[in-house]
Amino acid sequence: MKVDSFYVETILTLHHNIGTKHSLVIEQSVFLWHKRLGHISRERMERLIKNKILHDLDFTDLNICVDSIKGKQTKHTKKEATRSTQLLEIVHTDIYGPFDVNSFKKEIYFITFIDDYSRYNYIYLLHEKSQQVDVLEIYLNEVKRQLDMKVKVVMFDRCSEYYGRYDETGKHPGPFAKFLQKRGICAQYTMPGTPQQNGVSERRNRTLMDTVRSMLRNLTLPVSSWMYALKTTMYSLNRIPSKVIPKTPF
């Protein structure tokens, strides 16, 4: 039986139009963009739309995201501290890890450097904590070359990998503190047992790991993919406005 060519063309055209319409509907899905942007809140998505960074979205399909709730559970929030007034005036840093599962390149830690003024975040993966001085030097050289500015203060926890140790002969600064002293950079320490005083780094690490867990859970990826989810999250957060930074620099 010979099928009419006009009928075949009509069916193919109809199928193409339905597929195109379906794709447009998917691209306008706010739930899809919620997941693409690292499970950010509705408020932040509305800010992106208002600033013309995102196109108009249909918020009718924004249901409760179980992966976000499970990935971002926390005990309590912390109060905001006084902020700096210019780039690189204060940089917050912290080391997170070790992870139970190595990355594909066998890293088990990561270190963050966060500018207090812009909240721009750098992340470096580490095989061991002793690499912190090497990545600190890389970070300082990069921001100096790119911004033609120098870091004035670095704030971090009073833990042994940063601060050094005390014994009966007095204080023995660690390699990290010695490097800062050599570069003429002031070191600000938190009080012992109070990591919340380094709240910028602590909150950023929590946000990073909350989003990483949400991504891995939603996409059913192996835990060993955490470094890709981590870098994707950092890339997104550096480009998304927040309460502290209402306007993205990109």
Mean pLDDT comparison of 40-44, 94-98, 121-125, 160-164, highest-scoring range:
121-125
pLDDT for the residue 152: 96
Residue range 43-79, pLDDT digits in tens = 888 888 888 888 788 777 677 776 666 666 655 545 5
pTM over the 0.75 mark: no
The residue among 204, 198, 238 whose CA lies nearest residue 81 is 198
pLDDT at site 53:
82
Half-sphere exposure of 24 (CA within 13 A, CB side): 7
Domain spans of the chain? 5-63, 90-237
| Residue 47, pLDDT score | 86
Distance between CA atoms of residues 170 and 94, nearest Å: 25
What is the distance between the alpha carbons of residues 208 and 95, in angstroms, rounded to a whole number? Answer: 13
Q: Is the dihedral of CA 194, 197, 201, 205 positive or negative?
A: positive
Q: How many CB atoms lie within 10 A of CB 170?
A: 6
Per-residue pLDDT reduced to its tens digit, 162-209: 665 655 555 667 888 889 999 999 988 876 666 666 788 888 999 999
pLDDT of residue 72: 62
CB 86 within 8 A of CB 116: no
Q: Which CATH class is domain 90-237?
A: alpha beta
Phi, psi of 53 (to 5 degrees): -85, -35
Kindly report the three-state secondary structure assignment for every residue of 99-121: CCCCCCCCCCEEEEEEECCCCCE
Q: Are strands 170-172 and 165-167 parallel, antiparallel or unpaired?
A: antiparallel
pLDDT at 3 over 50: no
Q: What pLDDT is stored for residue 2 in this prediction?
A: 45
